[in-house]
């Protein structure tokens, strides 16, 4: 997991590194690290080099890492916790919020200051903790905050994304059903039987207008028209293990 953040014309790379690479394969500890990059110009080329490295905090079993669209907030999900930090004060570390269930995915609202998570019980939760009063890091203290719940999935939520106008939240998982949540009314719409479990969902634009792109567990990509919620086309990748070579 990695992200790019630009502040005051300086490019920062934020990424998660699993400490198991240095400790043991059974260890699920990880660290969120910010690396500040600077231009390194030579006579023939220009490249970026690492100028400063900051460990924002350690997390356990990471499942999500995202920066708010306005660049003000960094959020990570790991285990039963949400980790929140102001990007302008990453040296202060994370403020931790507790989730009743293990978190599986994360998405920021494109226009408003809140985010959504999915968990392993199929619950979608909206978190309203992105304000100066709430995000105050106290060592060893885990907080609770205002949230709202939406529940349809019977299995863990694998992926979440908001539409570009922020009016809808899309979710998918093992049920092979795309769920479209209308946020202001709570109304749900469904695209059932997409062919396989949904691993990823994103919003794209094409000649057909806005579409939802689903990445399925069987290595297929499916496009869903946002206007009529019909599958418009699909593409399959090469499935490793399906074919084999016979040598004589």
- The DSSP secondary-structure symbol of 79 reads T
pLDDT in the model for residue 5: 62
Structure tokens at 58: 């350690």
For residue range 82-113, what is the model confidence (pLDDT) as tens digits? 999 999 999 999 999 999 999 999 999 999 99
Check pLDDT > 80 for residue 245: no
- Give the span between the Cα atoms of 173 and 187, in whole angstroms: 19
Smallest Cα–Cα separation from 105: which of 173, 188, 40? Answer: 173
For residue range 199-226, what is the model confidence (pLDDT) as tens digits? 999 999 988 789 999 999 999 999 999 9
Q: Which fold has domain 62-236?
A: Methylamine Dehydrogenase; Chain H (2.130.10)
Smallest Cα–Cα separation from 157: which of 195, 115, 101? Answer: 101
Structure tokens at 87: 């990007």
pLDDT in the model for residue 163: 97
pLDDT in the model for residue 47: 57
Structure tokens at 127: 């978190």
Check pLDDT > 70 for residue 6: no
Check pLDDT > 70 for residue 71: yes
Chain-wide mean pLDDT for the chain? 85
Better-scored residue on pLDDT, 115 or 50: 115
pLDDT in the model for residue 240: 57
Domain residue ranges in the chain: 62-236
Local confidence band at 34 (pLDDT 50, 70, 90 cut-offs): confident
- Give the span between the Cα atoms of 94 and 83, in whole angstroms: 5
DSSP 3-state of 92: helix
Mean pLDDT value of segment 222-240: 88
pLDDT in the model for residue 12: 65
Check pLDDT > 50 for residue 25: no
């Amino acid at each position: 997991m990695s992200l790019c953040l630009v502040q005051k014309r300086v490019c920062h790379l934020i990424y998660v590194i699993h400490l198991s690479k240095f400790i043991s394969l059974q260890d699920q500890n990880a660290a969120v690290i910010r690396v500040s990059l600077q231009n390194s110009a030579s006579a023939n080329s220009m490249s970026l080099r690492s100028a400063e490295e900051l460990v924002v905090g350690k997390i356990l079993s990471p499942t999500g890492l995202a920066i708010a669209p306005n660049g003000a907030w960094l959020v990570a999900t790991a285990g039963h916790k949400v980790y929140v930090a102001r990007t302008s004060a990453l040296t202060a570390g994370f403020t931790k919020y507790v989730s009743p269930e293990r978190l599986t995915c994360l998405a920021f609202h494109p226009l408003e200051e809140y985010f959504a998570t999915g968990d392993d019980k199929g619950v979608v939760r909206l978190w309203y903790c992105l304000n100066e009063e709430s995000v105050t890091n106290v060592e060893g203290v885990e907080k609770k905050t205002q949230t709202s719940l939406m529940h349809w999935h019977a299995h863990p939520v694998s992926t979440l994304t908001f539409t570009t106008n922020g009016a809808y939240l899309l979710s998918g998982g093992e049920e092979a059903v795309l769920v479209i949540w209308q946020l202001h009314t709570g109304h749900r719409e469904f695209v059932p039987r997409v062919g396989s479990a949904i691993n990823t969902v994103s919003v794209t634009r094409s000649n057909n207008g806005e579409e939802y792109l689903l990445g399925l567990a069987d290595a297929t990509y499916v496009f869903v028209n946002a206007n009529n919620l019909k599958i418009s086309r699909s593409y399959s990748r090469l499935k490793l293990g399906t074919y084999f070579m016979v040598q004589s």
